[in-house]
Structure 1
Amino acid sequence: MKREFAVIGLGRFGGSICRELSMEGMEVLAIDNNEDRINEFKNIASHAVIADSTDEASLKELGIKNIDHVIVAIGDDIQASILTTVILTDLGIKKITVKAQNDYHEKILNKIGANQVVHPERDMGKRIAHNIISNNILDYLELSDDHSIVEVKVGNKMLGRTLADLDIRANYGCNVVAVKQGKDINVSPSADHSFSEGDVLIVIGADKDISRFEKHLVIED
């Protein structure tokens, strides 16, 4: 059974989510108050509608109460973002994800009922910064304010050595949750796993511990 989503605000962030969900075969209701944007997505989303999301009657008329998950991706209009979130909360939407402009905006969204608050620009900035530091750092995902998960290539200091040799958990406080070798993924690798060129590690831990691990074993001098 297809899940149903609504994306409110079809700027770069909301538009990207709308496209990806649609490509995955999800039912997507696209909402924006800009006619040009709606015209752009009318052949992408299941339904694309011009509407004011701060008008409760309009959202009710669109059947928003029947949607599983609503993503509020409104751009610079913080007031509209907050009012829309309040309405969605009052209507009893099960899952509400909202794009925040800043930390103050996030605090308000959390207080008024948003289930998930995202900072796409901030988070992308962190990912790019980690990638710039070293070509061996492939991806970076923030799990909370002080914990993350990273995807890194094996550094030269790790080649030919085993997990037991490096004892990453004891020495750096991080956990290697998987090792990718080409298309194969070894989840919870054994202590005698020996690293070879091309291996990619999935590592989870506190940011300060991941930073130590990267500096000592991943980033090349």
Structure 2
Amino acid sequence: MNLPNWNFLFQGLRRGENRQFAVIGLGRFGRAVCGKLHELGYEVMGTDINEKLVATVMTDKLVSKAVQLDSTEVTALRQAGIFEFDTVIVAIGNYLQESIVTTLNVKEGGVENVIAKASSSVHGKLLKRVGADRIVYPEYEAGAALAMTLTRPSILDRFAIDDKHCIVEIRIPEEFHGKTLAELSLRSNYGVNVLAVGNDDCFEINPSPEKRLDKELMMMVIGTNEAIHRLPFCK
């Protein structure tokens, strides 16, 4: 069971009334965001200045609608209806000026929740200054996740909630085999909470304290990064 990297969208997905997203910038990151949201059943509009990228996301059925436009032009954004969306994801990461101007335009256009991709910490600070509600660093997060899986092989997947907290999917260690969650008292002993136990075919969400663990299964736990690192991982 792979954990999707939802930290760039958490705020939007928590709001049950929000079913529409606009993604500005249809490079690899923007396409991935469009595809996942569309797969989950959300209405997604994709935009890019590159007409070929716009045509491609429509052909690949990654969006509900796609529009070719220059996002640094306020009039173009307004005519496309971008300002009517509750959440807009600015997925322009490699063009600093375009990213910042677009974020400013969208925020000043009245969009409540603006999530922007940054390529560096300086870029992120500038995006914050012009009103971005949330900054994401996909390259950094991917690198951190890779480092974690290389150094902690029992971690199958990791999702960072913020700088201090994460959810991880791990193989159940030998030390936990045959014991119940109540016997392990993971919250008291390690400072983590178990969200689910199972395998790729079926996970039991919010398992009972009497749930007996098996080293052949996996579990998903939430906690601080420090608490997660205290867990006895399989070698």
What is the TM-score with the length of structure 1 in the denominator?
0.88
* Separation (CA, whole Å) in 2 of partners of 1:206 and 1:23: 30
1:142 maps to 160
Across the aligned residues of Structure 1 and Structure 2, the Cα RMSD in angstroms comes to 2.1
Maintained 8 Å contact 1:154/1:200: yes
* Separation (CA, whole Å) in 1 of partners of 2:18 and 2:132: 23
1:57 and 2:70 matched:
no
Note closer, same or farther for the CA distance 1:184–1:16 as it changes in structure 2 (3 Å cut): closer
Note closer, same or farther for the CA distance 1:204–1:2 as it changes in structure 2 (3 Å cut): closer
Maintained 8 Å contact 1:175/1:203: yes
Maintained 8 Å contact 1:178/1:188: yes
Maintained 8 Å contact 1:72/1:96: yes
Identify the match of residue 187 of structure 1 among 200, 206, 213. 206
- SS for the counterpart of 1:130 is helix
* Separation (CA, whole Å) in 2 of partners of 1:157 and 1:179: 16
Q: 1:204: Cα distance to partner?
A: 1.4
Maintained 8 Å contact 1:177/1:189: no
1:219 maps to 234
Identify the match of residue 117 of structure 1 among 120, 135, 149. 135
* Separation (CA, whole Å) in 1 of partners of 2:54 and 2:22: 13
Maintained 8 Å contact 1:9/1:32: yes
1:3 maps to 19
1:73 maps to 91
Maintained 8 Å contact 2:166/2:225: yes
Maintained 8 Å contact 2:196/2:203: no
* Separation (CA, whole Å) in 2 of partners of 1:5 and 1:158: 42
Note closer, same or farther for the CA distance 1:147–1:24 as it changes in structure 2 (3 Å cut): closer
Could you report, residue by residue, the CA deviation over 1:109-133 in whole angstroms, capped at 9, with x for unpaired residues?
2232222211111112222222223
* Separation (CA, whole Å) in 2 of partners of 1:193 and 1:22: 35
1:77-116 paired onto structure 2 within 5 Å: 77-116=95-134
Q: 1:63: Cα distance to partner?
A: 1.4
User: Rg larger in 1 or in 2?
Assistant: 1
Between the two proteins, the alignment pairs up a number of residues equal to 216
Letter in 2 for 1:14: G
Task: Note the residue ranges of structure 1 that are not aligned, 5 or more in a row.
Answer: none
- SS for the counterpart of 1:194 is coil
* Separation (CA, whole Å) in 2 of partners of 1:219 and 1:58: 54
1:41 and 2:57 matched:
yes
Could you report, residue by residue, the CA deviation over 1:135-184 in whole angstroms, capped at 9, with x for unpaired residues?
42111111111111111110112111233443322332222233235514
When structure 1 is superposed on structure 2, of 94-103 and 178-187 the one drifting more is 178-187
2:186 maps to 168
Q: 1:188: Cα distance to partner?
A: 4.8
Note closer, same or farther for the CA distance 1:204–1:39 as it changes in structure 2 (3 Å cut): same
